[in-house]
Amino acid sequence: MKNFFCSKILLIPFLLLGSIALSYSQVIQGTVTTSDNTPINAQILLKEPSNDNVIKEFILVTKGTFTYKLKKSYSTNSFFLTVKATGYTDYTEEIKILKPLDTLNFKFVLFKEKIEYLNEVVVEKKKAFTIKEDTVTYNVDSYVDGTERKVEDLLKKLPGIEVDSGTGNISYRGKSIETVTIEGDNLFDYNYTIGTKNINIDLIEEIEAIENYSENRLLKGIENSQKVALNLKLKKDRSDISGSIDIGLGGFTTSKKSPLDVSTNLLAINKIHKSFAVSTYNTIGKNSSPFNYSGNQITQEQLKDEKYYIQSIIPEYNINQVTNNNLSNQNSQLFTNFNSIYKLNDKLKAKVNLYYLLDKINSNQFSESIIITGNEHFAIFDDNHINKKPLQYRGDLELKYNTSKTSLLEYNVSFRDETIDTEYRTISNQENDFNSLLNTQNKLFKQNLEYTNKVSENKALQINLANSFNNLDQNFTIDPSVFNTENFNSDIQSNSSKKYYTAFKTVLLGKSKKNNKYSVLVGFNLDKETFYSNLISKNNTQELAVDGSLNDVNFIKNGIYTQGSYNWKIGKFSFSPKLSFQQLYQEFEGATNPLDENIFIFEPSLSVMYKFNGNSYLNLNTGFNQNSQEIQNVFENQVLISNRMVKNNIPDITTRKNQKYSLMYSKNDLFNQLTLSFGVDYLKQKGNYFSDTDINENAIKTTSFFLNEYTDNTSFFLNFSKLIPSIKTNFKISSNYSIYNYKNIINNSGLRDNKALYLFNSLFLKTAFNSSINFENTTKFTYQETVSQSLFVNRSLENNFKLLFKPSRSLFSTVSYNYFIPNFTDKDTTNSFLNFDIMYRPQNKNWQLGLKGVNLLDNTSFIQRNVNEFSINSQKTNLLGRYYLLNYMYSF
């Protein structure tokens, strides 16, 4: 009996556990979809009515379905269930618990969040981006998917932002950005690609796109700025010092050089100091610097500093970029850069930028042209083996001194020393093969002093003084002689150019009570350019000057000017007229007939904008201006350019008169992931230099001459980007069509009218399926047509398909296939490229591994075609061979 009673007592805990388990066996299941019945990922939170601040249980909904067994008991026999999904309105419902074994079924439907507009501030619950006045703030975590390594990788994905794959230049809503700042400090100036290409995206929390940007804080709200800048905001939990080491070692290559890609960078920030340093070396065609020595793309800084430089008479060899890996750039590049801002005290800041670049670029280019002029029809070709060695040292210093709370004194000084040695061996259809050496030495010293005084809350006065000196020397040696083939071994072309530039201006900026902005400017420019050139033929015992090859010219351009502008807002309209008056004095010495003129120039312009709402507008621009000639168009005697080309001019300093008109519609609706811009640009010039070209199988002689004839260019453009949620695909369309009318003379043909048509279309699409596999595809079609005495046409096609595979958060891989048709009439010249990239990045670790295979089909060359008004041209460029690269990156 006793044993029976004990056994009953022992059964009580098990009966209690059984009853508890039974009460917890409640099962809930169901689906979560959007209003159009699309399954979505979501979270379900369970809370008690008595304490809705405490989450009792959490359910993760994957691909719209869930099944869950409750683990807890609820004293009130009920609980609150809340369904959450990013971009959708939360749904909350009180659930009554039925019998323990019953299964509760649900079908939840979530709706898109609503967006409210308050005083031009967009308030939304979605965290991907926010808009406040002139600034769009992108939340980095909302756009990264683990495949990004540097800031540039993410910028390519942000709506409204475009990144040029060749130069790294960035545009926002169709405007080129001024710079990229870090926490508001302009560390890189125009060379912002140093930051975007090298700063780790893991350090960045937000990216701000700032319109109407003013670096000078005293001008904020006063200056009618049309500038755009990006600002990188760092994560709050980062340390004062952070950086990364990236090592890429290659093998199994068919190239002469072993693939190598090594880089390190360091970012240091505290209250008084902010700096970024980077050092890179690679042999895989990558350009980590802001300078471009392999291609012909123009950088942002080159556009800004154009007025300080004199242009080279003998052009450098350029190599067209082939694929995103730039296989045509067979390089050995070492680039080191240091950028730092020091807060010396409460009033004084100093910024230092130091650069060093050394590169060795090898290329084999075979160029062939079919010449058709009148009754003449012949071919010319050159097979060039090029070895190009650029070397650059550079240092910049900026001092900012706040003399008071309302005044700022700034001083900038920059010294740049650049040397380019280019050796090339040419096998030609001329009688001889040639060995050539071009040495270019380019030195620039410039300084700028600017004082800003904020006179009142709505007015500011600026005084600016700039001064620069540019020295450019070119020595071109070619063996054997082009001009005296019988008695001399070589020709030596020596060029020396100098430019002295001084500019002064004072500007009054202000705004009225109605927020209309104005500026009044007075200033002068002093510009003097000199050019000396000499061509000699040489052998072991003597030198002989080539007749008609000595140039010794001075070109002075001095001007005094005044300019006024006003920005007037009436409702949704904005009118911005601008008037400029200039007295220009020009003097040219060193030609057969010296030239001088003193002219008055009137340059009006008008911009009219109509804003439909906060994200769309229509803009009309019109203007008239005059440009003086550059020295490369006015030297009189011949200069040897290459083994087959000489150039000279018939000097004329008459200004070119330009009429510009443009009409553009732009819409940037980030909430609906839509960007759209289209319009037309028209440029009409009266007075320009035209070419008189004499060409045969062995030589090309070009004489430029000035005529008061018209040329014009009309360009139509369309850019469209839209994310279509129903098929989870992003589309981008870019199209440009231009018509250029111009004149020239070919082989004594008389002045000919020519028309060049250019059409470019690009279609990009990328999927965002809720799966481990996605893809993207880019198709580009180019059409060229020139009409003169003959018709020349070329059509080319490029397609780039990329498969993206992400089986887990730690592993990501891509396979890309590029296909090129340089000419539709000759499809035997097609090119195909196959690449892969695998990256492993473990969660919560500060290292990652990567493996890539490039040019797996081992294409050794690439052919490009183009046409002009008298020839069909093709260029064959050799490429980096197949290689594999194992990469390791460590961040700290």
**pLDDT tens profile 508-567:** 999 988 889 999 999 999 999 999 999 999 888 888 888 899 999 999 999 999 999 999
| Higher pLDDT, residue 394 or 80 | 394
Read off the pLDDT of each residue in 700-724 and give the average, rounded to a whole number.
93
Give residue 98's pLDDT.
57
Alpha carbons 246 and 889: distance in angstroms, whole number: 4
Give residue 673's pLDDT.
83
Read off the pLDDT of each residue in 476-498 and give the average, rounded to a whole number.
89
CA distances from 382 to 205, 329, 385 (A): 52, 20, 10
Give residue 825's pLDDT.
82
Give residue 21's pLDDT.
36
Domains and CATH numbers, the chain: 2-110 (2.60.40.2190), 116-238 (2.170.130.10)
749-772 residue pLDDT tens: 888 899 999 999 999 999 988 889
For the cut 50, the answer to whether the pLDDT of residue 10 exceeds it is no
Give residue 127's pLDDT.
64
The backbone region for 505, taken as left when phi is positive above 0, alpha when psi lies in -120 to 50, beta otherwise, is beta
Position 114 confidence tier, pLDDT thresholds 50, 70, 90:
low
643-682 residue pLDDT tens: 999 999 999 999 999 999 999 999 988 888 889 999 999 9
Judged by average pLDDT, the poorest of 143-147, 359-363, 420-424, 434-438 is 143-147
Alpha carbons 674 and 730: distance in angstroms, whole number: 10
Give residue 117's pLDDT.
46
Three-state DSSP state, 141: helix
The backbone region for 707, taken as left when phi is positive above 0, alpha when psi lies in -120 to 50, beta otherwise, is beta
Q: How many CA atoms lie within 13 A of 409 on its CB side?
A: 6
570-600 residue pLDDT tens: 989 999 999 999 999 999 998 888 899 999 9
601-643 residue pLDDT tens: 999 999 999 999 878 999 999 999 999 999 889 999 999 999 9
Give residue 738's pLDDT.
97
For the cut 70, the answer to whether the pLDDT of residue 794 exceeds it is yes
Q: Which residues contact 509 (CB under 8 A, 6 or more apart)?
A: 219, 222, 223, 224, 459, 460, 461, 462, 517, 518, 519
For the cut 50, the answer to whether the pLDDT of residue 744 exceeds it is yes
For the cut 80, the answer to whether the pLDDT of residue 95 exceeds it is no
The residue among 706, 800, 794 whose CA lies nearest residue 762 is: 800
Give residue 110's pLDDT.
79
Answer positive or negative: Cα dihedral of 769, 770, 771, 772: positive
Alpha carbons 41 and 60: distance in angstroms, whole number: 8
Give residue 125's pLDDT.
44
Give residue 120's pLDDT.
47
Q: Which letter does DSSP use for residue 503 in this model?
A: E
Looking at the chain, the whole-number percentage of residues with pLDDT higher than 90 is 50
Three-state DSSP state, 12: helix
Position 442 confidence tier, pLDDT thresholds 50, 70, 90:
very high
220-275 residue pLDDT tens: 888 888 889 999 988 886 668 888 899 999 887 787 788 999 999 998 888 888 99
825-852 residue pLDDT tens: 877 788 899 999 999 988 888 899 999 9
Three-state DSSP state, 437: strand
The backbone region for 548, taken as left when phi is positive above 0, alpha when psi lies in -120 to 50, beta otherwise, is left
Residue owning tokens 């099944």: 67
For the cut 60, the answer to whether the pLDDT of residue 17 exceeds it is no
Give residue 184's pLDDT.
86
For the cut 80, the answer to whether the pLDDT of residue 441 exceeds it is yes
Position 8 confidence tier, pLDDT thresholds 50, 70, 90:
very low
305-317 residue pLDDT tens: 889 999 899 998 8
Read off the pLDDT of each residue in 294-303 and give the average, rounded to a whole number.
79
Three-state DSSP state, 322: coil
Judged by average pLDDT, the poorest of 127-141, 370-384, 544-558, 594-608 is 127-141
Does residue 312 contact residue 296 with C-beta atoms inside 8 Å? no
27-43 residue pLDDT tens: 888 888 887 778 888 88
For the cut 50, the answer to whether the pLDDT of residue 24 exceeds it is no
Radius of gyration for the chain, computed over Cα atoms and rounded to the nearest angstrom: 33
For the cut 90, the answer to whether the pLDDT of residue 57 exceeds it is no
Give residue 50's pLDDT.
60
Give residue 770's pLDDT.
84
Highest mean pLDDT, choosing among 47-56, 123-132, 269-278, 673-682: 673-682
For the cut 80, the answer to whether the pLDDT of residue 2 exceeds it is no
As given in the structure block, the two tokens for residue 660 are 């510009």
Q: Which residues contact 9 (CB under 8 A, 6 or more apart)?
A: none
Number of Cβ within a 10 Å radius of residue 107: 8
* Mean pLDDT score of the chain: 87
